[in-house]
Amino acid sequence: MTDYVISNNQNIVDLLKKYVAGDIPEVFSVNLDSFVGQEISLFLKVTGQNYNGTFDSKIMEVLLCNQKKINQIYSLVLYGKIKRLKAIDAKKIRLNYNVSDGSSKVSWENYQEILKMIIEKLSGTQIFLLAIILPGFFVASRYIDDQNLIKKAKIEHQNWIEKEKLVIQAFEKISEDHSNDIKLIMQTQELFEKKLFELTKNADAVEYSGIKIKSAPPIIEQKKLIQKKINDHYKILKIGVENEEYFSVKLENVKTGNKFNARIDNIINQPEELGKLNQAFFSRHNLYLEINARFEDNDLKDAWVISIP
């Protein structure tokens, strides 16, 4: 019998590759001794104005989904199929929460012990259940592909895409033999991920055991846009100031001395008004112009000569 040694997440990735490629024999064993002794922390940290040492119903939904997933997996490895856990067994894997101040950071105090109990009972292809128990794996592609909200969520995690593809492929293959049980677990996992992503709607940042789902966005002040008329007497400093898309004139306000370019799209094909511009320019006379302008926080951004009365 072939024996595979699992001591870290990368070993699981390598074994997933072999399994998906069909390079693992039907009967095999896995040595998890060195893996069981590792310290693995599980936490959910939500940062935002309304998250300071407390958690709301949305966070509670995430916690309940995670507990349900743990229960299903433990039931499968304990009884050989998913069914309601006996009270004594459910008590053994009940997650205890610890909430920290400064943000809504929820850590699972007894996760290490629960993980050890589950790992010790895994056999055969059940080993791949580690991919949805461990926080280092995160299967969420279906939500990134299918849901508008989650398309906007940013995930930062090393080799994440490679891992999630392998996990999905592996579970599709496993489900051929354990279709109902694996499908139930994956449905719970999908719901867990969906609830996790929904937290990003109202939070500045969400982090799941080192996986940053949404980084806090920078504060951007909304600029105020105003459009108004700036009809007045102007000096014509230059005609035909060319842009890639339009012709314009360079003007100077007689009263304020402000200088700017104004587009002449509306009068470029009107000989009479264009003649008035030329005459004012060459004679150095002031000209009254009707101009529409667009300001951004009191800064002139665009101007158009509408007419020359």
- What are 183's two structure tokens? 């499908």
Instruction: List pLDDT tens digits, range 92-134.
Output: 888 888 877 667 888 888 888 888 888 778 777 777 777 777 7
pLDDT, residue 5, reads: 81
Class of domain 225-307: mainly beta
Which sequence spans correspond to the domains of the chain?
A: 2-41+60-95+109-183, 225-307
pLDDT, residue 244, reads: 53
In which residue ranges of the chain is pLDDT below 70?
A: 1, 36-39, 101-102, 135-169, 174-179, 214-223, 241-246, 266-269
Q: Is the pTM of this model over 0.85?
A: no
pLDDT, residue 242, reads: 58
- Are 133 and 73 in contact by the 8 Å Cβ rule? The answer is yes
- Are 274 and 267 in contact by the 8 Å Cβ rule? The answer is yes
The residue behind tokens 């102007």 is 234
- What are 40's two structure tokens? 């693995």
- Give the whole-angstrom CA distance, residue 215 versus residue 151: 14
H or E element that contains 43:
strand 43-47
H or E element that contains 234:
strand 232-242
The residue behind tokens 């259940």 is 129
Among the residues of the chain, which ranges form H helices?
A: 9-20, 33-36, 57-79, 87-92, 111-119, 130-133, 141-146, 148-151, 160-174, 179-198, 271-283
The closest alpha carbon to 184, from 67, 69, 79, 19, belongs to 69
- Are 215 and 157 in contact by the 8 Å Cβ rule? The answer is no
